[in-house]
Structure 1
Amino acid sequence: MAEKTLTEVFAALGAAMKPALDRERAEWDAHGAEATFRLEATGAILDQLGGNCPVQAEGTVDGQAFYFRARGDAWELWIGAADDWWTDRAWSIYRDYGKWPDAGWMPRHEALGFIVEGIEVYRAR
């Protein structure tokens, strides 16, 4: 078996990932603007959204930091000052999402929708 160069390995990886990336891009093109509008309507500021396994987002809402994380079969949103999101939770909401590992591959527009849902629950408390 012939050894492959690093360039060949990355080219094969890119070719294998292309269908999934094309699908993700098409979903964002179809739903991203509406999802972004819904988030902006809350007054939240999104600093970062991305990743897979986990999908993560950070920003601020009502002057408080927020952190969103979707992995495995659930998503969670934390809002409030926290030095460590895992042990010092100011407020959080947790929801199931599909089957393992669906949440880690959640489309970005769905993540934004769940952030909006979490903000609405946070404000209604």
Structure 2
Amino acid sequence: MDRSVIYLRTEWDNGSPTYVVTLPDISDEQRRGIEGVVDEEGFVRNGVCWRPAGDAKLYRLFEAVRSIGFDLNFQSDPDGPFNLHRLHLRPETRSRLEQTESFRLDELAGFCPVQAEGEFDGLYFYFRARGAHWRFEAGGDAIGNKCAVWWYEEAWPSPTGFEAGYMSDDDAIQCILKAIDFHRFTDRSRFEKSHPDYERTTLEGWSLGALSLANVLERLSVTAEEVITRLDVYGIERPYFADLELKAIATKTGADQVAANMPGVSPDHTGEDDW
């Protein structure tokens, strides 16, 4: 037998949710049963609105409602811009965010890592905070077909080495806006091929995780072995995933060599912006 479904739509106010409820066609007795469960789980009812109070948890409400024969489902959010009221921000941070020109936030969520994406000045951006650092990348795309053309990383106060992955909405927004200011108002020439530090900058991009090894090979026109040698010369730390990427590159190179010797088969060439 199919369960009756209670639908919820979330309304946000500075990071605090209120759930607007649509009940199915049920009896008065069933309605009182639902309301009793909602009260017991610590939600405040106000007409069709349920608001969590204290240590009330939505997952526990889901379980309790299921125990009396109902399901809870969220109504799909309408397409549109990210609702900034989902974020818990100080007034000054919210004001600065809303006044930032040529900027759009598409998502900010998660822990370990905290991640965000959006657009500024016509460029896609990606933000990631984990461990003891946060990083901002500009110029790639959401599906990885294009790699970043600029990035910035900064250490985050982290006595245990994990605090960045738990930063607040307010802290994440401040980091994002700080990186945008750096992009807009500081010298970016080292990210250009004509700059004498372009090679080092590119290798640092791989070390930080802003670029893949394939991106580096394409940009610098070198072999994987030369990348490792140059990392050591510059004293740049190898990324933790280096061995996996080196193995993948070696496998692809071998497959390309085989394909090159087969009539009618050509190895794919993927440009810098296509990785």
TM-score by length of 1: 0.69
Determine which of 86, 95, 111 is the counterpart of 2:154. 95
Counterpart AA for 1:55: V
1:104 partner amino acid:
G
Show CA shifts across 1:10-66 (max 9, x none): x9xxxxxx4xxxxxxxx936x1x4323212322211010110000111110001111
Which residue in 2 is equivalent to 1:67?
126
Q: Secondary structure at the match of 1:88?
A: coil
Q: Which one of 106, 121, 125 corresponds to residue 182 of structure 2?
A: 121
Gaps of 5+ in 2: 1-40, 42-54, 56-86, 188-275
The corresponding residue for 2:144 is 84
Residue correspondence of structure 1 range 1-125 to structure 2 within 5 A: 18=55, 28=88, 31=90, 33-43=91-101, 44-82=103-141, 84=144, 88-99=147-158, 100-124=161-185, 125=187
Q: Deviations over 1:76-119 (max 9, x none)?
A: 0011134539x922110000002210000001101000101000
Distance 1:81 1:105 in 2: 25
TM-score (norm 2): 0.33
Aligned length: 99
- 3-state SS of paired residue (2:164): helix
Q: Is the 8 A contact 1:48 1:58 kept in 2?
A: yes
Return the alpha-carbon distance in structure 2 between the equivalents of residues 77 and 111 of structure 1. Answer: 11
Contact 1:57/1:67, CA 8 A, preserved across alignment: yes
Higher Rg of the two aligned structures: 2
Identity %: 36
SS at match of 1:28: coil
Distance 1:108 1:36 in 2: 10
- SS state at 1:84 partner: coil
> Could you tell me how far apart the structure 2 residues matched to 1:36 and 1:79 are?
22
| Residue aligning to 2:60 | none
Q: Runs of 5+ in structure 1 lacking a partner?
A: 1-10, 12-17, 19-26
